[in-house]
């Protein structure tokens, strides 16, 4: 088996005469890249760009606001993955700006690590209404679908902000048409655990329709370097194919059972991405048979008429461009000054999968030190 050093030697031996900008779309990838210091170890004309890889970062501001209002005013137990608790919304300073602040103000909000915990909390509190607020990509949405099909108590409902990964990449690539901004990357590292569930085939549009090099990577430096080598080689040879550098768990077709469960429990809908807007067929909603568990239908009228900056990122925050890979985290003027992991302003500094948090928590002060 090749080591990371073997792959680096192979990469450095490649006759690379033009700049290759490789986007990743998974917070786990960005974490390994940053933590292992891969950027500094690669040739100068290879750029690694963090893209839309953080579901918490793109969760609509309106949904976080709704979750806060339900927790404060609807008497529910609100459960959510821990990442969601510190995501800020745009409200006057006198009001709770996050689920964490709502919790401090007395709301019953409980962080969980698994959908099964949501079921357990609902079963243990049959007299209460429980709302599971969940943002996630396919890897997280499939377990939520499994939870639904296995059977959930009547007092549990879902506030679903789940998204599909590939439509955001497709949107970025389609924006390279005349009249739009260039997508900003010319090779892709595809997400390993999304492909584990959904199958690698989902990503063939990158190599086929758009003729860009692409490889699926796992989360070790070795797997990522193998994928980087693959896309560089594809780029040099001018022949693109979707390489699978994570065969340990990524099999042809993916996990067919999980996909079937997803399609039984969810339907794919147009969806809003915070700071980005609507991306067609990029979100999940509950299938008709589970509509009675849809918190959006159960609880209405909680959005405040005329609320300022509805749906937007916080003032001065450049998270939207960070998520799209248009700028690096340190190019946001708040990075490391007003916005730090301890006092996050934007969602990319809140989530463990946000590029800003990963960079800052790894000691990155600016791009030159990556």
Nearer to other proteins, 136 or 325 (CB): 136
Asked whether position 81 contacts other proteins by CB under 8 A, the answer is yes
Q: How far apart are the first and last CA of the chain?
A: 27
Q: What are the Cα distances from residue 116, in Å, to 57, 120, 121, 150?
A: 24, 6, 9, 10
Site string for other proteins, 41-80 (x = CB under 8 A): --------------xx------------------------
Q: How many residues does the chain have?
A: 370
Token pair recorded at residue 186: 């010319």
Beta carbon of residue 165, minimum distance to other proteins (angstroms, whole number): 9
| CA proximity to 54, closest of 344, 290, 366 | 344
How many CB atoms within 10 Å of residue 308? 10
| CA proximity to 370, closest of 29, 41, 21, 3 | 41
Nearer to other proteins, 135 or 164 (CB): 135
Site string for other proteins, 182-221 (x = CB under 8 A): ---------x-xx-xx--------------------xxxx
Phi, psi values for residue 183, rounded to 5°? -65, -20
Instruction: Restricting to residues 114-143, name those near other proteins by CB under 8 A.
Output: 114-117, 135-137, 139-140, 142-143
Q: Give the pairing of strands 109-112 and 77-81.
A: parallel
Nearer to other proteins, 52 or 91 (CB): 52
- For other proteins (CB under 8 A), the number of binding residues is 53
Token pair recorded at residue 184: 């900003």
Q: Distance of alpha carbon 362 from its chain centroid, rounded?
A: 19
Which window, 60-68, 96-104, 146-154, 313-321, contacts other proteins (CB under 8 A)?
146-154
Residues that bind other proteins (CB under 8 A): 26-28, 31-32, 35, 55-56, 81, 83, 113-117, 135-137, 139-140, 142-143, 146, 149-150, 191, 193-194, 196-197, 218-222, 248-249, 251, 255-258, 261, 340-342, 351-353, 360-363
């Amino acid at each position: 088996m090749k080591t990371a050093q073997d792959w680096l030697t192979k990469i450095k031996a490649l006759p690379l005469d033009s700049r290759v900008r490789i986007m990743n779309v998974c917070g786990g990838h960005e974490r390994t890249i940053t933590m292992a210091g891969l950027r500094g170890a690669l040739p100068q004309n290879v750029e690694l760009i963090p893209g839309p890889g953080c579901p918490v970062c793109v969760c609509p501001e309106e949904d976080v606001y709704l979750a806060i209002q339900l927790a404060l005013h609807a008497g529910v137990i609100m459960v959510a993955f821990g990442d969601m608790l510190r995501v800020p919304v745009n409200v006057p300073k006198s009001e709770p700006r996050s689920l964490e602040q709502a919790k401090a103000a007395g709301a019953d909000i409980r962080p969980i690590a698994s959908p099964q915990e949501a079921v357990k909390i609902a079963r243990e509190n049959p007299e209460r209404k429980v709302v599971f607020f969940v943002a996630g990509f396919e890897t997280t949405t499939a377990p939520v679908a499994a939870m639904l099909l296995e059977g959930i108590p009547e007092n549990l409902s879902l506030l679903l902000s789940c998204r599909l990964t590939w439509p955001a990449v497709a949107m970025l690539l389609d924006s390279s048409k005349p009249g739009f901004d260039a997508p900003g990357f010319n090779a892709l590292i595809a997400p390993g655990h999304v492909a584990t569930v959904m199958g690698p085939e989902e990503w063939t549009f990158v190599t086929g329709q758009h003729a860009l090099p692409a490889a699926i990577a796992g989360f070790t430096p070795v797997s990522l370097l193998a994928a980087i080598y693959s896309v560089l080689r594809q780029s040099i040879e001018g022949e693109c194919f979707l390489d699978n550098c994570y065969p340990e768990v990524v099999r042809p077709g993916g996990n067919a059972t999980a996909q079937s469960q997803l399609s039984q429990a969810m339907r794919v809908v147009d969806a809003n991405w915070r700071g980005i807007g609507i991306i067609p067929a990029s979100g999940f909603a509950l299938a008709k048979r589970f509509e009675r568990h849809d918190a959006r239908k159960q609880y209405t009228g909680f959005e405040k008429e005329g609320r300022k900056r509805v749906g937007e990122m916080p003032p001065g925050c450049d998270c939207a461009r960070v998520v799209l890979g248009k700028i690096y985290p340190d190019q946001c003027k708040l990075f490391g000054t007003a916005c730090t992991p301890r006092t996050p302003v934007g969602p990319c500094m809140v989530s463990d999968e946000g590029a800003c948090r990963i960079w800052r928590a790894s000691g990155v002060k600016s791009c030159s030190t990556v």
